[in-house]
Structure 1
């Protein structure tokens, strides 16, 4: 059956999927059909929203380059503009993942009991739950405000679609309902997935645990963030020794390397491309002389030899931003959570383990800081140095905004005009594409 071309057609804005399938078209009906759907790397792994990466302060654009970017929405994301979004591709592509996952779950639900006992069934169902949760999580990081337990039951999250019905129009769930669904889906995935997967594009149980640590850290639930980061780290305690990488290579970090637990990318944007995006001088200055990451991650810009471009992609190429799950993120989640829980010895050991793997051989001197506040600051600095162009900076800026000691006010200048993103700004939640709002009056726009 020609399943994948059909699914590529079946998404839009009206009810999220406005192109109705011809009844004569083939639709997935078997377990094997569902496995086939998981092969669509473009749809399931590489079309997530890029707006958060553009909005983060890891790079800057010159005024000339900003004006040269053809995509108005990307230009607006760079300056945190309130202009209505002109396109809906970031929203559509994520809900297409949700649609595919829901379609698989519906097919699986109708299979006979014998098939439901098979390992093949459990793996496919675990994948469906994982991909649905991952897509919801990406959407919530772009289109919802930071999680606050005190307001989560009233703040708006994203529409939570649990069935592939094309005619159902879903309103936005609350922020709490959205996070509850994401957590439940990832936990379902951990119970169904095996310890290994056949490819980095498909999750194993370790990836689902890593995803849960990411979600709980975003929520400020440090006990659960530690628990799941610890589970993921014990399952895959792998860090690359950066001394083994070729510093002179165009892209020194191998694709699907041993740190990658699950591979995923954003859509591409010229705003984050190597020709336009110049690395923040403040970020460059944060690397110490013997830290190999400065040479592994950055190179002189082709457009401006006085500036630097990024070359440290975990996808080994100039495409979208790598937003997948890695053991290096996991150990940082574990270190931060441990520190916040008062387990400073654990946090310190994790921080030193990561840093030593990034340092020139024989030159690393361990950090011995035991004051919890100062240690936390060191861990957060390390997140910024390590997780460059990994989709985490925007999330970190949002979640840390509520703490006056950790909040960051972002500034950018274009055409001699200074743009400021104040801490706790309503602009932490991007405006939902106007096309979606126009065609679905059940969806409430974000506040401004």
Structure 2
């Protein structure tokens, strides 16, 4: 992978010097003007902007784990404490690193897109197309993540005319951009991804760069979020036809501190969320009912968990470390395909898809294929296995939001701290985080309503 030239690195460091106050900073583009396609590639290869520090507040607020009161009380960041208990007020004067980091990424990709328009694409049409496709993918990925915490859930039965994101499509930070609707936000995400799909290459030596399969997988995830199960199935199928293979968990080294290898054969696109201390392996304890739902023959039970205090913590990240993976992997596509088939009434096909995945997770000879007599039973099985397989992938919060829209799959969440019970009702406005005060003051956009 090409490294930054010193001049370009100076430019980039100038842009990120005040990371949490990024939107207050007006970068001086006169420092350097990228003059080649390789310069623009270097901007898209900046790992900390495009592959790390992804949106994590949804994972922090999800129900797959808990922390003990003394650990919660010792947290230094009030917004982490508040997010954990779904408080009405979250930021208390602090900035939102999730918001600022993703809009920093949007600035980068918009700058690259504008730079491409000034360059002769005929000099290297393949590289020019790859760069444009990558930038559009990254912008869609950024907007999608932001929409999962700062916009109301997309609802197929509603108009989706509520407040969405500021869809910044220019690198000029002096241009005022108001909030689009939720529908317009998802329309932009899909438009960017479809355009990226036509431009991205089939393969890359680096899993930090997007390829066609990544666009297919993200399109499938977005359509599932939108409850558009036909398109979610179509794009999941397309991703499954690519050259990514399920791991045989019998081959894992269970003695390793983190048995899951980074960039393993299932990973289509690598990214990870911000390192919130609430989600550190020394603090989080996996929900006990969830842990007990893994069968003894299920290798994930040994590979993904280790004892901590009164329960078990998580060590199964596809980052191969304590950091939490939120990229795209082929196992998610199996689960999306199975769910969509079940919703279409194709029970046998749905369970066959699910069993193909699960057979790779169990000890050899220890897996009994799952079966169901009805569509309802099949969907319950698949959603249960989805939660188990995609544990701590920064997906659960989005799943809760979409599943809450149907009373049959809605769930009330509970936290208990020092004798106090906190709860989050299905479809509560607190499933949508407030925007940090500094962003509201700077941009004069409307705030999300909480209760």
Q: Residue 116 of structure 2 aligns with which residue?
A: 108
Q: Which residue of 2 aligns with 1:26?
A: 32
- The alignment status of 1:330 with 2:354, answered yes or no, reads no
In structure 1, what is the equivalent of residue 232 of structure 2? 225
Asked if 1 retains the 8 angstrom alpha-carbon contact of 2:20 and 2:101, the reply is no
Which is further off, 362-371 or 418-427?
362-371
Which string of whole-angstrom CA distances, capped at 9 and with x for unpartnered residues, describes residues 95-150 of structure 1?
A: 111111111110111122523x6111111111000000000011001111111134
CA drift of 1:440 comes to 1.5
Cα distance in structure 2, aligned partners of 1:374 and 1:128: 41
> Of 243, 253, 270, which aligns to 2:277?
270
Query: Residues 289-322 of structure 1, C-alpha deviation per residue, up to 9 Å, x if partnerless?
Result: 2111111110011xx1x31111001001112x21
Counting only pairs closer than 5 Å after superposition, residues 15-54 of structure 1 correspond to structure 2 as 17-22=23-28, 24-54=30-60
In structure 2, the CA distance between the partners of 1:96 and 1:247, relative to structure 1 (3 Å rule), is same
1:160 alignment partner, one of 160, 167, 173: 167
> 310, 314, 321: which one pairs with 1:310?
314
Contact 2:337–2:353 (CA under 8 A) maintained in structure 1: yes
CA distance in 2, matches of 1:363, 1:261: 28
Contact 2:193 2:215 in 1 (8 A): yes
Indicate how the Cα distance of structure 1 residues 31 and 324 shifts in structure 2: closer, same or farther if over 3 A, else same.
same
Q: Is the 8 A contact 1:30 1:107 kept in 2?
A: no
5+ long unaligned stretches in structure 1 = none
- How does 1:292-441 map onto structure 2 within 5 Å? 292-301=299-308, 304=309, 306-319=310-323, 321-441=324-444
Check whether the contact 2:220–2:231 (CA below 8 A) recurs between aligned residues: yes
8 A contact 2:271–2:326 mirrored in 1: yes
Q: Given the alignment, which residue of 237, 248, 261 partners 2:268?
A: 261
2:121 and 2:59 map into 1 onto residues whose CA distance is 44
Counterparts of 1:193-212 in structure 2, within 5 Å, are 193-212=200-219
Q: Which TM-score applies when normalising by structure 2?
A: 0.95
> Alpha-carbon deviation of 1:249?
1.3
State the secondary structure of the residue aligned to 1:17: helix
**1:122 alignment partner, one of 129, 137, 156:** 129
In structure 1, C-alpha distance between the alignment counterparts of 2:33 and 2:437, rounded to whole Å? 31
Judge conservation of contact 2:21–2:100 (CA < 8 Å) in 1: no
Deviation per residue, 1:245-276 (Å, 9 max, x gap) = 01221100000000000001111011000111
1:7 aligns with 2:12: yes
Aligned residue pairs, count = 442
Structure 2, unpaired ranges of 5+: none
Instruction: Judge conservation of contact 1:4–1:40 (CA < 8 Å) in 2.
Output: no
Question: Where does residue 103 of structure 2 map in the other structure?
Answer: 95
> Residue 36 of structure 1 aligns to a residue in which SS?
helix
Q: CA deviation at 1:151?
A: 3.2
**CA shift for structure 1 position 190:** 0.9
Alignment correspondent of 2:191: 184
For 2:160 and 2:365, the matched residues in 1 are separated by: 51
Paired residue for 2:449? 447
The CA deviation at 1:370 is: 3.8
Alignment of 1:228-243 (within 5 A): 228-243=235-250
Question: CA separation of 1:113/1:317 partners in 2, compared to 1, >3 Å: closer, same or farther?
Answer: closer
Cα distance, 1:240 vs structure 2: 0.4
Deviations 1:424-447 (A, max 9, x none): 100111111111012111x11111
Contact 2:109/2:139 (8 A) holds in 1: yes
Q: Report the secondary structure of 2:313's partner residue.
A: strand
CA RMSD of aligned residues (A): 1.7
- Measured in 2, the distance between the counterparts of 1:253 and 1:433 equals 35
1:36-66 CA-to-partner distances (Å, cap 9, x unmatched) read 1122101111011211111011110111000
1:68 corresponds to which residue? Answer: 74
Q: CA deviation at 1:285?
A: 1.3
Q: Note the C-alpha offset of 1:15.
A: 11
> C-alpha distance in 2, partners of 1:357/1:83?
44
